[in-house]
Amino acid sequence: MKKTIIIFLVLLGQFAHSQQTSSDMNKIWSLEDCISYALEHNITVKQAILEKNSTLQDYKAAKSSRLPNLSGSASQNFTNGNSIDPITSDFVSQQINSTSLGLNTQVTLFQGNQITNGIIQNKLLVDQYSFYEEQAKNNIILSITDSYIQLLYSKENITIAENNLVASQKEEEQAKARLEAGSIAMKDYTDAQSNTATNTYNLITAKNDYAQQLLTLKQLLELPIGTSFQIADPTGTGEDLIPDLNQVYTQAVENLPEINASKTNISVSEKELDIAKGGYLPTLSLTGSIGSGYTSTQDFVFADQLDLNFNQRVGLSLNVPIFNRNRTKTEVEKAKINIDIAQLKLAQEEKDLYQKIETAWQNATAAQSQMVAADVAKNAASESYRLAQKQYELGALSTTDLVVSQNTYTNAHQNYIQAKYLSLLYTQLLQFYQGNDIKL
């Protein structure tokens, strides 16, 4: 009976897993689905989260440095000959069997504000790595978006290639019939055959490009090997209003984590300077200990000696730096240099960001203009190709001229979808720089 139940549960689990797998394979993935899945599973994002968690542990350790430490000690010694009794401190000349027990503690009361500044610095590092985590997420969002739009473009190219192949196959059949009827020369028929073969090749190339783009997207998503899925068609047209360039840059400087991380890096370097300057100041520590022991030189049992020899100690320790081979001076100067480096890094980040935004803005503007012109050209080429097909059916147009017309229409159509998706990509990129969600 138990075996029957176990077998039933195993089969039920396998069925549920197969149903889930089938559901995942049949799912239509939107861009939002891809982004959400990638943020949860992408390795780079996970690494950034772990690095942030590591700095969080350093921050906790820095706060704990305010607390006193506590350590215990125990020793067993055997001495022969002239020596100092480790328990009574008497000078004796005999064999000594001694036991020492103790607890020691120390707490730093003042260390040139280095502990306080260290805590603040580690908190800033937590903030900085939080920005790095956001940056890693933003990078994967942009990579997913770019790959997704490339995939959409490849998908439309397949449709164009399939339509061309169907049309060329039909035209080849017409050419064959006309050749058999003696109304065209063999060259016209072979031109039709060549066009069909070319369009077959183009379809295979388009499908291969789609497969490569799909593989890139799956790798970004960290999907299991063998997983297949379909993507949703976009609702956007690439005709969104292009925002003002300076407004986009201003909002990006305020929102983007890489800029905030560089600003925080300056604060981290400034705290490093404060910590280094603390090396010029004295360190004051409070120490304390309790202990007891046993020695064979006393005529008392072990337990009684532990009570009789019990002692306590409290003390203050002051360490005043006088000369440490210019180590503190060197650390101060290096901290100042690191501040300058951090400031230059921020300036470079802002410069690079402006270049990215201006490039995206110019590309968005150009792509929208190209899309308008390409749409006119596509419609005109489509009508010309339709008329050429009619002429070809009536025998008023050669196969070569028909192929030229088809190629013109294909190129115009491809130019249009390329401009469309470039416009969609760059307008969404500008939205992203403004702190808005990417939506297709």
Q: Please tell me the predicted confidence (pLDDT) of residue 326.
A: 96
Output the CA–CA distances (angstroms, integers) from residue 305 to 61, 95, 327, in the order listed: 40, 18, 48
pLDDT at 141: 95
pLDDT in tens, 257-284: 999 999 999 999 999 999 999 999 999 9
Per-domain residue ranges of the chain = 28-65+112-281+328-433, 73-110+284-320
CATH topology of domain 28-65+112-281+328-433: Outer membrane efflux proteins (OEP) (1.20.1600)
Could you give the CA distance from residue 279 to residue 269 in angstroms, rounded to a whole number? 16
Reference 223, options 40, 368, 77, 78; nearest CA is 40
37: amino acid identity, one letter: Y
pLDDT score, position 26: 61
Three-state SS for 93?
Answer: strand
For residue 318, the cross-strand partners are: 284
pLDDT at 16: 47
Which class for 4: exposed (0-12), middle (13-18), buried (19 or more C-beta within 10 A)? exposed
Determine the pLDDT at residue 17: 44
pTM: 0.85
Which one, of 144, 142, 138, lies nearest residue 48 by Cα? 138
72 torsion bin: left (phi>0), alpha (psi -120 to 50), beta (else): beta
Residue 323 φ/ψ, nearest 5 degrees: -155, 120
Low-confidence ranges of the chain (pLDDT < 50): 9-10, 15-25
Rounded Cα–Cα distance for residues 242 and 282 (Å): 60
pLDDT of residue 418: 95
Please tell me the distance from the alpha carbon of residue 428 to that of residue 357, in angstroms, as a whole number: 12
Q: What is the pLDDT of residue 21?
A: 42
Q: Supply the pLDDT for residue 3.
A: 52
Question: What length is written for the chain?
Answer: 440
Could you give the CA distance from residue 293 to residue 311 in angstroms, rounded to a whole number? 10
* Strand locations in 144-242 (E): 230-231
Cα–Cα distances (Å) from 177 to 163, 170, 171, 184, 396, in that order, read 22, 11, 10, 9, 15
The Cα 43–Cα 47 span in angstroms is 6
Q: How far apart are CA 197 and CA 260, in angstroms?
A: 56
Sign of CA dihedral 51, 56, 60, 65: positive
